[in-house]
Amino acid sequence: MAWQPSPESLNTLAACLKDSLSGFDKTAQKNAELMLTQAKSSPDINNYLVYLFSSETPPSGLQCSVQDYFLVRSAAAIMLKNNIKTGTRQIPESSLSLIKMAIPMGLQDKNAQIRNYSGNIATEMIRRGGIMSWPELLPELLKMIGNESGQISNEAQEGAMAAMAKICEDNTKMLERELNGERPLNFILPKLIQATKCTLPKVRAQALTAINVFTPRKSQAMLNCVDDLLQHLFALASDSNNDVRRQVCRAFVQLIETRPDKLQPHLPDLVDYIITQQQSDDEDLACDAAEFFLAIGEHEHLWHALNPYISKIIPVLLKCMVYSPEDIALLGGASDDEDEDDLEQDIKPQFAKKSSARTANANGEGSADAAQNGNAYEKLASMDDNLEEGEIEDFEDGDDGNPDERWTLRKCSAAALDVFARDFRGPVFESILPYLTTNLKHEDWPYREAAVLALGAVAEGCIDIVTPHLPELVPYLISLLNDPEPVVRQITCWTLGRYSAWAADLADGTQKQLYFEPMMEGILTKMLDSNKKVQEAGASAFANLEEKAGKRLEPYSRPIIQQFVQCFKKYKDRNMFILYDCVQTLAEHIGPVLAQPNLVNELMPALINRWNTVSDQSRELFPLLECLSYVAMALNDAFTPYAEPIFIRCVNIIHQNLEASLALANDPALDAPDKDFLVTSLDLLSAIIQALDPTKSAKLVQQSQPAFFELLTFCMEDPTDEVRQSAYALLGDCAKYVFEQLEPSLANIFSVLLKQLDLDSILDEDIDSGFGVVNNACWSAGEIAIRHKSNMAPYVPELFQRLIEIITNPGIPKGVTENAAIALGRLGLGNGELLAPHLANFAEEFLNSMDEVDPSDEKATAFRGFTAIVEKNPMAMEKSLLHFFTSIARYRDLKLRSETKSGLHEDFQKALGIYRQIIPQFDQFFGQLQPQDQQTLRTTYVF
């Protein structure tokens, strides 16, 4: 007998579902959520949810208004999808059969939202169970979309197409993989292309949406269909529906990267088409069209083909860079809002920046990456890191939010102008010069603002052509910092930041006074503007100026710090984040100058006041901890008075986070702890341990409660790559500065570290971040090896094997193999006899890696260890001896005065002496070296 619901249970469940979506009665909502959680344990719960969701009218006995019943159906669909997402395997087969029967009915529902929910459930079923868990679904959807019988309703066609688009987005790789000898996409893609001819515009648009999931991917199916797809795209280019044309533009954008050869013959017509679409009244369509020029300008080869059309394209880009009347209304006009508190939704989500890898070649990148464009036209990072493959967010791209906070036609056009300026240089500036002349002093601020934006956009590409005009332009821009319109002041900060390198590089003192100092002072002043967005733009521009000026800011450090301190007093939460960036960028570039007592006494109280204000749960901790890391490194021992409470709090944050992870393992209903708290706390601990006098660092580590290295070992085993990467960086720093405290914990630490060096443990999908962890693990192993020396013996066999696997694997990034080679060489310090029998198996790979490493203490100690191994088994070097001699000859940096460098010179001398004794025709062998290498060896060493 078919399953039937109990009327009483159905009524109770419906009431709970309705209340769970009620925003008016919070108590009823909370009670409903508790009851629904309990109901999940019922074996029939999914049957009830399907029943309610798929019934277009309230079941008999269910007293419900039309509006309330829609809420019930919606809540049932959401709960059903979540149940499938979290526990497909626990759902009985009978319930799965009911779901499979209900979904096609839901896709035909009169209500568009219910059709949408049906598609969500269908894609979740495929994602969790695979295509073969429901093999009938895709053919059935394609049959509904094609409407071959002519009996399928418009709603059903649209519902099926929307579901198919979701399945394509959420299961891209699954559709491309071979299944029972066939790839599903080979069958689906031609059908989707055919669906673009449907008479229903929603079906055409959704078909293109689904196709555009695959246009950036070089699958065999796309290769087979690309010509047919292009013909359909050209036919759809004049479609009356804006959404269809929008997807046509997106397809062209994606084909630039994957099939430029197919687009190039059609470029003249495409340029005209895109220019027309970019001037559409539909901003979403216009923005997608503008992306075409941005993408083609960034293409390695195709940009050259645009040269004949630059004079056509640039005026359109400039026209589209003016704020639209709608955007002006949303901006809210001029306002002094400095005293208004930020709303929670106005504060961008903060994430910990990825911990830097410890590299053999130190070329640290600047910290003010966000300041490079100051949000003038950056694509704002959305919180899509948590989305699964192909999953898209529920809101539409073109929301009605503040135009400063979203990707707009204006920003996209400015970004395209920036790219063209770098591509074509002179011709672009010539194209915009008349526009600048007319609009820079325009009486209407939107045109004034757009001209300043254009001038900033071409800064990088046209700097040589703009430079002669800058003595006139820069003072005018500085005057615009006092423009009555905040939006003009805002963009002027950004543009001045873009030209700050020119001002900073001025060698003449008079010119510096004329241009650099007024620019710096003007931007600093705007950091305390009466408008919060101008403050933000000023801070971002100043971080950019700090990057460009570097140490040349040292004479101005006091007034800069004083201004920062005023900002700490005045800023609301949102702008505090960019202020941290300003402080850390200054610390990074002027370093020890910041340790002057008068500067420390001004800056640190402001930072510590904020440190005491921000709670352990606030995401503001991420940029604050990162900022303090840079400050600690700059102050070195001058950071000591502030170190202990900060160190203790970081340890406590790590402890709380690890405890929360353990609690989550026992109770999955709990919220997952945010691992960014771990990353930033570990990084700050690293900075403090490096900054302080080692005896003071050792004391902090020793007094830590819970035990410092127990916590660190847990972090080294954390499932999150970024946490492990920071943990291994901290481990290496502990080896360098507090080895005595680390030593008793090495047995436990090596049991974890050796597992991390197993390349099989890196998952394919996490390969890039996984290599970052392996890199730091190698580096920390090397730092331990040079201090633990012969006590490393118990770990040498496995550690040697792991390091060999890394340096002999051509698929490993160069930086990782270099750190592995350095660690391998350092193992020879005290363990030469253990490694000597294997020397012939790794000598060449070691020397190859060392050829790429710049002179440093790491390289010197690695060569000392390697030479110690060579001394134990000199005959094993037969195939690599010439390479070894060449490496000795070309080793630079030996003249630097340090114990390591002078010791290496002696080690090289000893190795050369050994080979002079054991090679019968040594001079003949020596003659095989390059003449300059022979000369260097004879000059530097005694023969």
What is the per-residue pLDDT for 362? Answer: 46
Place of tokens 């007293």: 63
Provide φ and ψ at 707, rounded to 5°: -55, 130
Distance CA 832, CA 830 (A): 6
In this prediction, residues 510-534 reach a mean pLDDT of: 97
> Is 1 a residue whose pLDDT tops 60?
no
Residues 6+ apart with CB under 8 A from 583: 564, 603, 607, 627, 630, 631
pLDDT by residue (tens digit) across 319-366? 999 998 888 888 765 567 776 776 665 555 555 565 566 666 644 333
Cα separation values, 68 from 18, 23, 75, 105, Å: 7, 13, 11, 21
- What is the predicted pLDDT for the residue at 342? 65
Nearest to 312 by CA among 262, 265, 276: 276
Q: How many CB atoms lie within 10 A of CB 63?
A: 9
Point out which residues pair with 182 in neighbouring strands: 179
Q: Is the model's pLDDT at 397 over the cut of 80?
A: no
Residue found under tokens 């292309």:
193
Burial (CB count <10 Å: 0-12, 13-18, 19+), residue 778: buried
In 3D space, the residue among 21, 40, 115 whose CA is nearest the CA of residue 84 turns out to be 40
Q: Indicate if the alpha-carbon torsion angle 566, 569, 570, 573 is positive or negative.
A: positive
Radius of gyration of the chain (CA): 32
- Nearest by Cα to 298 from 412, 429, 456, 454: 412
Match 């972090």 to its residue by tokens. 715
Q: Is 179 helix (H, G, I), strand (E, B) or coil?
A: strand
How many Å apart are CA 79 and CA 86, to the nearest integer?
11
pLDDT of residue 144: 95
Query: CA 84, CA 364: separation in Å to the nearest integer?
Result: 46
Nearest of 55, 129, 50, 56 to residue 87 by alpha carbon? 129
Percentages of the chain per state (helix, strand, coil), in multiples of 5:
75, 0, 25
Provide the token pair at 324: 């639209």
Residues ≥6 apart with Cβ < 8 Å to 430: none
Q: Residue 252 is encoded by which pair of tokens?
A: 């062209």
Q: Within 10 Å of residue 410's Cβ, how many Cβ atoms?
A: 24
Tell whether the model's pLDDT for residue 377 goes beyond 80.
no
Name 298's Cβ contacts closer than 8 Å, sequence gap at least 6.
Answer: 419
Mean pLDDT for the chain?
90
- Do residues 522 and 516 make contact, with C-beta atoms less than 8 angstroms apart? no
Alpha carbon 83 to its chain centroid, in Å, reads: 31
> Residues 908-938: pLDDT tens digits?
999 999 999 999 999 999 999 999 999 999 9
Calculate mean pLDDT across residues 859-871: 96
- Measured CA to CA, the distance from residue 670 to residue 661 in angstroms comes to 9
Considering only 17-31, 285-299, 358-372, which range has the smallest mean pLDDT? Answer: 358-372
In this structure, are residues 449 and 440 in contact, taking their beta carbons and an 8 Å threshold?
Answer: no
- Phi, psi angle pair for 667, to nearest 5°: -140, 90
Q: Write out the two tokens for 597.
A: 């007592």
Q: Is the pLDDT of residue 52 over 50?
A: yes
pLDDT of 387: 33
**66 falls in which pLDDT band (50, 70, 90)?**
confident
Confidence band of 390 (pLDDT split at 50, 70, 90): very low
Q: What is the rounded distance in angstroms from the CA atom of residue 927 to the CA atom of residue 933?
A: 10
Per-residue confidence band for 385, with pLDDT thresholds at 50, 70 and 90: very low
Look up residue 284 and give its two tokens.
């979403």
Q: Where is average pLDDT lowest: 160-169, 358-367, 806-815, 884-893? A: 358-367
Query: pTM, whole model, 2 decimals?
Result: 0.82
Q: What is the pLDDT of residue 443?
A: 95
What is the identity of the amino acid at 220?
Q
Q: Which of 157, 151, 152 is nearest to 203 (CA)?
A: 157
Calculate mean pLDDT across residues 108-119: 94
DSSP 8-state symbol, 384? G
- pLDDT of amino acid 23: 66
pLDDT at 251 over 50: yes
Name which of 624, 734, 630 is nearest 687 in CA terms.
630
Contacts of 706 (CB under 8 A, 6+ apart): 651, 655
Q: Which amino acid is at 579?
A: L
> Which tokens in the block code for residue 386?
């948590």
Question: With contact defined as beta carbons under 8 Å apart, do 170 and 388 qualify?
Answer: yes
**Least trusted range by pLDDT, from 522-536, 612-626, 890-904:** 890-904
pLDDT at 520 over 90: yes
Confidence check: pLDDT of 531 > 80: yes
Average pLDDT over residues 48-62: 87
Q: Which residues contact 309 (CB under 8 A, 6 or more apart)?
A: 267, 268, 271
> What average pLDDT does range 747-776 have in this prediction?
84
Q: H helices then E strands: how many in the chain?
A: 49, 0
Measure the CA–CA gap between 440 and 498, rounded to whole angstroms. 17
By three-state DSSP, how is residue 5 classified? coil
> Biggest alpha carbon distance in the chain?
105
pLDDT digits (tens, 9 = 90+) for 143-179: 999 998 889 999 999 999 999 999 999 999 899 998 8
Phi, psi of 263 (to 5 degrees): -85, -30
How many Cβ atoms from other residues are within 10 Å of residue 606's Cβ? Answer: 18
Q: What pLDDT band is residue 391 in, cutting at 50, 70 and 90?
A: very low
Closest CA to 420 of 567, 329, 296: 296
Burial 117-138 (b: 16+ CB within 10 A, else e): bbbbbbbbbbbeeebeebeebb
What integer pLDDT is reported at residue 366 of this predicted model? 36
386 pLDDT tier (thresholds 50, 70, 90): very low
Q: Which two tokens stand for residue 301?
A: 């080869």
Distance of CA 101 to the CA centre of its chain: 42
pLDDT band of 287, cuts 50, 70, 90 = very high
Please give the Cα distance from 943 to 941 (Å, whole number).
Answer: 6
Res 231 pLDDT > 50: yes
Range name among 116-130, 207-221, 388-402, 890-904 with the lowest pLDDT average: 388-402
Whether 846 shows a pLDDT value over 80: the answer reads yes
In sequence order, what are the residues at sequence separation of 6 or more whose Cβ sits closer than 8 angstroms to the Cβ of residue 670? 660, 663, 664
> Length of the chain in residues, anyone?
943
Q: pLDDT band for position 35 (50/70/90)? A: confident
pLDDT tens profile 663-681: 988 887 788 999 999 999 9
Confirm if 853 and 822 have CB atoms less than 8 A apart.
yes
Give the pair of three-digit tokens for residue 513: 């006074």
- Judge whether 830 and 850 are in contact, CB under 8 Å: no
The Cα–Cα gap between 625 and 611 comes to: 9
